[in-house]
A and B are shown apart, each in its own frame.
Chain A
Amino acid sequence: MSIVHAHTVLIVAAILFVLGLAGVLTRKNIIFMLLSIEIMLNAAGLAFVAAGSRWQQPDGQVMYLFILAMAAAEVSVALALVLQIQHQHKTLDVEELKELKD
């Protein structure tokens, strides 16, 4: 137990990612879908940080930083959209928002 193997960390990241994915697929509420997406992004960040640690390079953390910034931007726009959707459609059910269908 004293050593952490590289693929253990990656499997943890994969589990988190898959959990987030299951959340996105299952939930119908947009807020929950966004939460799940945050989890997936975070799992990817974990994989990057692990890789950076494994090779003793700062690049992993740099990538994590970029993911972080991207997540921040995405969340701000997405939450603005959520506000607007609730305002105009009076619902957060993603299955109701099908106006872009063919």
Chain B
Amino acid sequence: MSLVFYISSFIAILSTIMVITRYQPIHALLYLVVSFLALAVTFLSLGAPFAAALQVIVYAGAIVVLFIFVVMMLNLGKQTAQQEKEWLQLRAWLGPSILSLVLLAEMAVLLLQDAPEAMPATVVTPKQVSLSLYGEYIIAVELVGFLLMTGIVGAAHIGKHKKKSLHRFLQTYPNLN
């Protein structure tokens, strides 16, 4: 399984690099799907089939679809790509890359301080996960339920296209705006 891991990780890193360097939003999204799927395979190789399935369904499915919807609604096409090209000069990459590389180096140093340990090849089954989820983590599950509910309500509220965004005190004077 280790070969699978290395290949899928490589694909994930590569496609992620592509994601952050694309000018066209839709291209970036497609690379993102690739990255997510590669990660799903990585999960599988690490013995987490449940996480892999969710990765495919939720990330590569739902979330990316949401992005695509928005990109389509906003009609982000060639014009946006042109703009991105103007914005993404080499100069813009310089500072962030250096900072990020320093962070990566430091994290690598921290990780490599300990002696290497092998990953066991056994699988953590969905049954174990769900027992844990609905046993000791039940309160967290309920809280996540709240969070999703708030997300829905918030998105519905914010996403409404209001004619005017006036404070309620000002709304009694319609001629102001």
Contact = CB atoms under 8 A, between A and B. Distances in A.
Interface of A: 1-12, 14-16, 18-23, 25-29, 31-32, 34-36, 38-39, 42, 45-46, 49-50, 52-54, 56-62, 64-66, 68-77, 79-84, 86-88, 92
Contacts of B157: 80
Interface residues of B, number: 89
Closest 9 CB pairs of A and B: A73-B151, A25-B96, A23-B20, A80-B159, A80-B158, A58-B132, A80-B155, A76-B155, A5-B116
Contacts of B28: 32, 35
B67 A77 contact: no
Interface string B101-144: 10110011001101011111010100011011100010010001
B120 A32 contact: no
20 contacts: A4-B45, A5-B116, A7-B111, A7-B114, A16-B39, A19-B16, A21-B103, A26-B96, A27-B87, A31-B76, A36-B19, A52-B124, A58-B131, A62-B132, A69-B144, A71-B59, A77-B151, A79-B155, A87-B161, A88-B165
B67 A31 contact: yes
Interface of B: 1-3, 5-6, 9, 12-13, 16-17, 19-20, 25, 28-29, 32, 35-36, 39, 42-43, 45-48, 50-51, 54-55, 58-59, 62-63, 66-67, 69-71, 73-74, 76, 80, 83-84, 87-88, 92-93, 95-97, 99-101, 103-104, 107-108, 111-112, 114, 116-120, 122, 124, 128-129, 131-133, 137, 140, 144, 147-148, 150-152, 154-159, 161, 165
